[in-house]
Amino acid sequence: MNKAVFDWIDAHQDELVQDLCDFIKIDSVKGAYEQGKPFGEGPFNALHFGMDLAEKYGFEIKNYDNYVATADYDNALPHTLDILAHTDVVPAGEGWTVTEPFKPVVKDGKIYGRGSSDDKGPLMAAMYAMRALKESGVELKKGIRLIMGADEESGSADIEQYYQEEQEAEMTFSPDAEFPIINIEKGMFRGAITKTVAESTALPRLVSLEAGVALNAVPQKAVIRLEGFDMNLAEAPMDEIAKELGVKCIQTGVDEITIEGVSAHASTPESGKNAGLAALYLINKLPLAACEQLTYIKKATEIFPWGETDGEHFGIKMCDEESHDLTCTLDLYHVTPTEMSFQFDSRVPVMGTKENCEDQARAVAEKAGFTLETAGMIPPHVVSGDSTLVKTLLGAYEDVTGLKGECLAIGGGTYVHELKNGVAFGAILPGIDTHMHGADEFMGVDNLVTAAKVYAKAIYELCK
């Protein structure tokens, strides 16, 4: 590939940044279904923005019922490489300080706004890589297709629909993660331990515990409601839990206590402070009337003790050289006087099986008197590090960045999890926290340009 391609990308940096800013302005959080707009108004508008831009830049586009849009480099070439990105974003959230989520600004070499790094910025880097090759007159012998989805953040119904109509390409990469390359995604084991208990009317008692908003996130907040309880007796236990576990315990009502922890993605639970689990520990310390409900709350903390994120007491601790430690976190909590449900999310190494994971967890849960409810395991995704795809992508990354390329394994799942020969490849450079999914999300301009060059080099090497 000649130097002209990289020179083209440098010369079009400002245009790339402007296109990304225009893209970010579209609030593409999933909305209510409308006729012809399966994921709502925002994702529809963002998908059409990407489609219109691709058509403007000379690519052949196709709309798959507003679930997915594609941009082909040249339909006359054999379909060989797919680049799988998405136009939807997670909700805006709170705590933004640099700008509002959908009012992008460029400041100190960074583009701020929701979706800047996940995944609108990486999508634009891939589109500009294709454009740079095309407008620089580079001859390719294999076809490239940019696939733009509209529902990655909320279940990937978009791409499921697409693959009902189209075949997987020979090779696929998704610019929806980090460099160097992710060729292993752990399996997933999710479920709940549940228990129905005899209601006790003895006072004081626990009326309810609710915590968690998503199964894939460590809960940041938990709310305990009590009945017939002298809240003065809660002060010392609240102080103890706050000190011991590093959370906040606040009386938020006459009979209500709120625990505030630190949220984290379920694939990295060690970086959070689980408010729901802290609430269980606090309940154990409160002078409540003895009952079956409290007995099983204590048993839940024995299966999921504070600070343990490897599933040891759940019977599923394991580790392998390829994908490292299993992670396990309790993320959704629902307790009433008659029932309780604790939902867990576990990311399982390549060595995980039904026998050493699901069956072990069931045995532990049932021995403690709980029922285990699960749909079973989602298997891990592995593409060999010795494959042509992985070696070529790592070579392009090393050539452009001068950094060491290596394969990574993650606990999260990406767009390519169900594909035979798909990997996550960039676009975030190592060591950079872009606040993805959080407040003040950004994409560095230099990072954006570098990613475009890496993708151009990778496309060329795979399709020349």
Q: Are 408 and 184 in contact (CB under 8 A)?
A: yes
**What is the spatial distance between Cα 108 and Cα 461, in angstroms, rounded to a whole number?**
34
Beta-carbon count within 10 A of 288 CB: 22
HSE-up (13 A, CA, CB side) for residue 38:
19
**What is the spatial distance between Cα 300 and Cα 192, in angstroms, rounded to a whole number?**
11
**What is the spatial distance between Cα 349 and Cα 279, in angstroms, rounded to a whole number?**
29
Active-site residue flag, 27: no
In this structure, what are the phi and psi dihedrals at residue 204, rounded to the nearest 5 degrees?
Answer: -75, 155
Q: Which of 72, 82, 152, 441 is catalytic?
A: 152
Q: Which of 82, 88, 176, 185 is catalytic?
A: 88
**What is the spatial distance between Cα 59 and Cα 128, in angstroms, rounded to a whole number?**
11
Beta-carbon count within 10 A of 415 CB: 24
**What is the spatial distance between Cα 103 and Cα 168, in angstroms, rounded to a whole number?**
36
List of residues 6+ apart from 21 with CB closer than 8 A: 104, 106, 111, 113
**What is the spatial distance between Cα 385 and Cα 180, in angstroms, rounded to a whole number?**
12
Active-site residue flag, 152: yes
Distances from the Cα of 444 to the Cα of 107, 110, 439, 447, angstroms? 9, 4, 15, 5
Active site residues: 88, 152
